[in-house]
Chain A
Amino acid sequence: MPYIEVKDRKIEVNEEGFLVDPEKWNKEIAQALAQSQENIEELSADHWKVIDYIREYYLEKNLAPMVRKVCQNSGFKLKYIFQLFPSGPAKGACKVAGLPKPDGCV
């Protein structure tokens, strides 16, 4: 299994860079995922607004939120979400928030 390094610890990710064990997620891992998967050097307050919402939603419902909810909750336009996470809400934002890979054409 591939891995990312976070403070000298090896964290397992799958072949597509999603966390193998979503319970292991923390903010440092999020930063490391953002860097290795999305080329984001430093997560901004706007990134965190999206990530925290997705994480909370996932912990509560065991699901990724629809992008509508992400937009409405953050107050961000869809276009801006794509600017924040160039790989999009699934392979960008949800991945950084430590969610497993969603089913379907993603």
Chain B
Amino acid sequence: MTNQKDKTDSFEKKMKTLSCEDQDKILEEFKKRIHQEFAAYLNTCAHCGLCADSCHYYLTSQEHENIPAYKLSLVTQIFKDTFDSFGRRFPLFFGAASLNKKKLREWIDVLFGRCSLCGRCTINCTMGINIPYLIRAARGALASAGLVPPGLQSTVDTAVDKGNNMGISKDDWLETIEWLEDELREETGDQNAELPVDQKGARLLYTINPREAMFFPLSISAVGKIFYAAQESWTFSSDNFDVTNYGLYSGDNSKAGLMSERLIKSLNHLQCSELILAECGHGFNSNRWEAPEWLKLNYQFEVKSILEVIWNYIQEGQIKLDSTKNPDPVTLHDPCNLVRLGGIIECQRDIIRNSVQNFIEMSPNREKNYCCGGGGGQLAMTRYAERRIKAGELKAQQIKETGAKIVATPCHNCIDQLMELNKHYQLGVEIKTVSEIVADAVVLE
């Protein structure tokens, strides 16, 4: 662990000593990332301003820097300066600007510090501009010169260097599984109950978010119990178990690809047929949708969310649920990366309806849901923590209005943000994964 002072100091130092070569590197990477689709987007914004009211940052703090069209304009300015000779010649008229140090500071503050890449602006954009994709491309350009805010960069570095984003050693991982296996045996009363590791030929390879093993293991126990009840053939990998991919947030495609590639290697090595992603929004988006593009490959196996697996168990009668075990009212938060950007929309609702007595939707929901404020790497970038909590105010209101006692959400990143919102806005709710709710209702025969 590096203490924050060191991390912040080295970032500030990097900013101050930025060389012309660094600036060239950023522009070079930016040029590489722009292709026809992006060019079209950047020439399309009609400045209608409809996006303002779709963004949780702007809705909670009416600063012009929080308007998605403004955020996009920062990228457009550099695009016009780089690719458009009229823009370069008549910058004021064509809205071009050069990427000097002042502009770089603004890029960092706005593109990293005022956007959670949630994509809500896109579905409300009259022109359908994929704003988060363009912001991510600009983040990637900043990453090429080491200008990713500390916390986010160190999470990427830890994952690349240590194999998972919390730096958990193999021994610690294996010992934690053994500990949880003992608990599962106690709970099921079956001494043969297992949390299998490196079992070759198992049908499913299951992954986790490292924070589960490190600090919040109840969700691992929950999935273990559901697999046990369904008599599933599954395994963990002792080496590559991390579903997260903070390269999605830093914008660094090569590091992002490297992280996803490790899961594929383990799947092939263990001869499993399906890669099952834990309740992790950005991990789902990265590994299900982005990794084939990062790695330029077609998957020869299935990649699914654990929610799809559980939903299938319920459909096929492989697990039985007793909803009276969950009498308290439950609401559901939709993680942006899983729902709006990931396409997993209905199965979590059906699972919850089958597992609890009283399910209350928040409004708006599904793909129109507001971001909790924790995505886009915000949770890791301490310097923007105050903005993050403020941006979560809408989510806190949504939760309050449901009157629910429990908030379920299939994303550990969201869970952490919701825990903070719970404390800050005094919501008095309990936050759980969907698997934890299912595990409480599952009937062991």
Out of B168, B175, B416, B420, name the residue touching A105 (CB < 8 Å).
B416
* Contact size range, B: 35 or more
Q: Is B299 an interface residue (CB 8 A)?
A: no
Q: Which of A58, A71, A87, A100 has the most CB of B within 10 A?
A: A100
Interface string of A30-62 (1 = CB under 8 A from B): 000000000000000000000000000010001
Do A103 and B419 touch (CB < 8 A)? no
Do B165 and A104 touch (CB < 8 A)? yes
Counted as pairs of residues, one from A and one from B, with CB atoms less than 8 Å apart, the total is: 104
Do B386 and A105 touch (CB < 8 A)? no
Do B167 and A22 touch (CB < 8 A)? no
Which B1-46 residues have a C-beta within 8 angstroms of A?
1-5
Q: Is B379 an interface residue (CB 8 A)?
A: yes
Main secondary structure of the interface of B (DSSP, over half): helix
Do B416 and A66 touch (CB < 8 A)? no
Do A63 and B385 touch (CB < 8 A)? no
Do A106 and B176 touch (CB < 8 A)? no
Chain A residues near B379 (CB-CB < 8 A): 105-106
Assess A103 versus B244: contact at CB under 8 Å? Given A66-B168, A66-B172: no
Nearest chain-B residue to A71 (Cβ)?
B179
Interface residues in chain B, defined as those with a beta carbon under 8 Å from any beta carbon in chain A: 1-5, 151, 154-155, 158, 165-168, 172, 175-176, 179, 209-211, 213-218, 244, 280, 379-380, 382-386, 412-413, 416, 419-420, 423
Do A88 and B216 touch (CB < 8 A)? yes
Do B4 and A104 touch (CB < 8 A)? no
Do B215 and A106 touch (CB < 8 A)? yes
Interface residues in chain A, defined as those with a beta carbon under 8 Å from any beta carbon in chain B: 14-16, 18, 20-22, 58, 62-64, 66-68, 71-72, 78, 86-91, 99-106
Chain A residues near B4 (CB-CB < 8 A): 14, 18, 20, 100-101
Assess A105 versus B209: contact at CB under 8 Å? Given A18-B4, A20-B5, A62-B1: yes
